[in-house]
Amino acid sequence: MAVSMRDLDPAFQGAGQKAGIEIWRIEKLSPVPVPKSSHGKFYTGDSYIVLKTSTSKTGALRHDIHYWLGKDTSQDEAGAAAIKTVELDAALGGRAVQYREVQGHETEKFLSYFKPCIIPLKGGIASGFKHVEEEEYKTCLYVCQGKHVVHVKEVPFARSSLNHDDIFILDTKSKIFQFNGSNSSIQERAKALEVVQYIKDTYHDGKCEVAAIEDGKLMADAETGEFWGFFGGFAPLPRKTTRDEAKSIDTVPTRLYRVQKGQAEPLEIESLTRELLDTNGCYIVDCGIEVFVWMGRNTSLDDRKTASGAADELLRGLDRPKCHVIRVIEGFETVMFRSKFDSWPQSTNVAVTEDGRGKVAALLKRQGLNVRGLMKAAPPKEEPQPYIDCTGNLQVWRVNGQQKTLLQASDQSKFYSGDCYIFQYSYPGEDKEEHLIGTWFGKQSVEEDRVSAISQAVKISESLKFSATQARIYEGYEPLQFFVIFQSFIVFKGGLSEGYKKHLVEKELADDTYKEDGIALFRIQGTGPDNMQSIQVEPVSPSCQFIIYMHTYW
């Protein structure tokens, strides 16, 4: 897509050049930068654009753009935010993933940028809305949901809002109460406590009391009585309450639309395949709770703006204005988007996902756990390789018997063939943080370390309530996604574990473990930049094929 600078808003000049958060508020239908001191402060009558810039280990920049719509924002401002988001993406090279965020229904990815939470303030910049300055402190009731990222939403100040499943915060002039539903978890309560502290520091200057109220425990203490006094006295809560989420739209059948002359025209299809998407067009994929706008690489900036407006108009017509809208560019589709298709062909330029798979971790599990298949042969050539977010958090441990040692970031990609390793990779999913727990077994590793690695990996998974996917990976049979996570990978000869050293002594074998003060020969291998690796080999002539000779590694 060729973009002229005259098509781009001056407010976006220089945006996205370094890691961090940048925010613009829509004022008079134009973006105006929000100072860092006001980041995280959103008004219900306004629309905002939020740019998240991340840096990978290789130094490459990745961009995610969100436009946030307050519940009282005007339709014109919402439309301007959508259009300006497309312009910002164009200014950044047309590769960013774009998300529509509606107040009270934000994605976890968006909420993760603002710790511990966001609590929109009443008011706005447009059409007579003025930012509200309360003369008298207003008592508010909030519901907190989420174990990793907290969704905080103001609910009616009434007993009927309370339930046993969630945590509620009652914010009064002199005291903040945290009501813990009997079915809420420890993690949820801990996250809610962070919100309580945030409210205390932000709205009370840190000068108010805090009280915890336990659901179902009728203790005759003053604070419990004080809490229930705000609701007219204690009365049992119903066992089951109806939530907004009860009206699920997950069952909506997937529909494909092509945007023609600003209108979303439905296409009659038997199955959703990649071949249906033309690089010269824009399409809307309606999957129920998520709606995707796919923009072909050969489409113009105006085409993309029109497609965004068509998606919003479609949702208004279907009475689903709060659905998540995610806009992707051809060649930079998200894992979730690709998983909606019955087939997605492999590409040499852009890594894509496996048929019908919604999570990268699930595919890694399939590739990693199927050890026999890995040992017998490489994956079939037609098997698609998925894109994986390489901006997540990586932790690596080296196993030594029943112990494990956390490696420094500079050593995370340096493995020994005689050792076993455990790694935990956490990355932002579409709606929540995803986790992958992997074990890597060196060719020369001993049975004791292998068994210990598996056992300790299970314990890590258990600490995450088994929400993580586990993968077992053997040296020489690493899937492409493994290299994408580690980005650079070196395998040294020998090992550092006590079990490996003991094995050498028992077998009377020489210890050829790599030492920094020695001379080493490495073979550089791989089929492309995504899976390059360095393997230490014997420093003899037959090894000298596609090699680098060095005294030390880089």
Report, as an integer, the average pLDDT of 79-107. 88
Q: Are strands 393-400 and 324-329 parallel, antiparallel or unpaired?
A: unpaired
Pair of tokens at residue 404: 């494990």
pLDDT digits (tens, 9 = 90+) for 370-390: 323 223 333 333 333 444 555
Closest CA to 51 of 27, 71, 33: 33
In angstroms, the CA 482 to CA 421 distance is 13
Does 224 lie in the same domain as 259? no
The confidence score (pLDDT) of residue 22 equals: 95
pLDDT > 90? residue 523 = no
Residues 379 and 303 in one domain: no
Helix axes 498-507, 447-463, angle to 10 degrees: 170
Q: Which of 111, 130, 154 is where one domain is finished? A: 111
Phi and psi at 491, nearest 5°, equal -115, 120
pLDDT of 377 reads 30
- Would you say residue 554 lies in a domain? no
Confirm whether 276 is domain-assigned: yes
CB contact at 8 A, 281 and 257: no
Q: Is the pLDDT of residue 250 over 60?
A: no
Residue 280 contacts by C-beta under 8 Å, 6 or more apart in sequence?
296, 298, 299
User: What's the whole-number mean pLDDT along residues 239-268?
Assistant: 70
Do residues 29 and 77 touch, judged by C-beta distance below 8 A?
yes
Q: What is the mean pLDDT of residues 204-208?
A: 86
Judging by DSSP bridges, how do beta strands 151-155 and 47-55 pair with one another?
unpaired
- CA distance readout (Å), 227 to 7, 19, 214, 326: 56, 44, 11, 41
Residue 237 lies in a domain: no
Query: How many whole angstroms separate alpha carbon 529 and alpha carbon 554?
Result: 17
One domain, residues 23 and 96: yes
Count of Cβ atoms closer than 10 Å to residue 88 Cβ: 25
In a domain, 238, yes or no: no
Question: How many other β-carbons are positioned within 10 Å of the β-carbon of residue 281?
Answer: 17
- Kindly report, residue by residue over 286-320, the tens digit of the pLDDT: 988 788 999 998 888 888 989 988 888 888 877 77
Judgement on whether residues 293 and 174 belong to the same structural domain of the protein: no
pLDDT of residue 257: 93
- Say how many domains are in the chain: 4
Regarding predicted confidence, which is higher, 494 or 131? 494
| Residue keyed to tokens 């995504």 | 530
Report the distance separating Cα 179 and Cα 169, nearest Å: 6
Within a domain: 99 = yes
Looking at the domain assignment, is residue 289 inside a domain? yes
Which region among 214-218, 248-252, 418-422 has the lowest average model confidence (pLDDT)? 248-252
Same domain for 401 and 319: no
Which pLDDT value is given to residue 505? 93
CA Rg value for the chain? 27
498, pLDDT greater than 90: yes
Report, as an integer, the average pLDDT of 160-164: 88
Torsion sign, CA atoms 275, 279, 284, 290: positive
- Can you read off the two tokens belonging to residue 138? 């207003």
pLDDT of residue 135: 55
Give the range of the structural domain holding residue 323, as residue numbers without chain letter. 255-332
The overall average pLDDT reported for the chain is 79
* CATH number for 413: 3.40.20.10
Spatial separation of the C-alpha atoms in residues 225 and 219, rounded to whole Å = 9
Residue the block writes with tokens 């050792």: 419
Q: How sure is the predictor about 285, in pLDDT bands with cuts at 50, 70 and 90?
A: very high
State the pLDDT confidence band at 416, using cuts at 50, 70 and 90.
Answer: very high
Of these ranges, 302-306, 358-362, 373-377, 484-488, the one predicted with the greatest mean pLDDT is 302-306
CB 469, CB 435: distance < 8 Å:
yes
Q: What pLDDT was estimated at residue 357?
A: 30
477 and 376 share a domain? yes
CB 358, CB 335: distance < 8 Å? yes
Co-location of 501 and 364 in the same domain: yes
pLDDT above 60: residue 131: no
Q: Read off the pLDDT of each residue in 65-90 and give the average, rounded to a whole number.
A: 90
Distances (CA, A) of 338 to 267, 271, 352, 391: 19, 14, 7, 19
Task: Verify that 500 and 382 share a domain, yes or no.
Answer: yes
Where does the pLDDT of residue 423 fall: very low under 50, low under 70, confident under 90, or very high at 90 and above? very high
Tokens of 441: 């077994």
For residues 1 and 90, the answer to whether their CB atoms sit within 8 Å is yes
> Is 528 inside a domain boundary?
no
DSSP type of residue 238 = P
261 and 156, same domain (yes or no): no
Domain boundary among 184, 211, 229: 229
List pLDDT tens digits, range 317-356: 777 767 788 999 888 887 778 878 887 765 434 333 333 2
Query: What pLDDT is recorded for position 25?
Result: 94
Q: 467, 487, 507: which is the final residue of a domain? A: 507
The phi and psi torsions of 57 (rounded to 5 degrees) equal -65, -25
In a domain, 320, yes or no: yes
Q: Would you state the pLDDT for residue 242?
A: 47
Q: What is the mean pLDDT of residues 177-185?
A: 89
Q: How far, in Å, CA of 148 to CA of 155, rounded? A: 21
Residues 364 and 292 in one domain: no
Residues 186 and 106 in one domain: no
The b/e string for 104-138 (b: 16+ C-beta within 10 A; e otherwise) is: bbbbbbbbbbbebbbbbbbbbbbeebeeeeeeeee
Least confident of 128-142, 238-252, 484-498: 238-252
What's the rounded Cα separation, in Å, for the pair 241 and 218?
A: 21
Same domain, 162 and 75: no
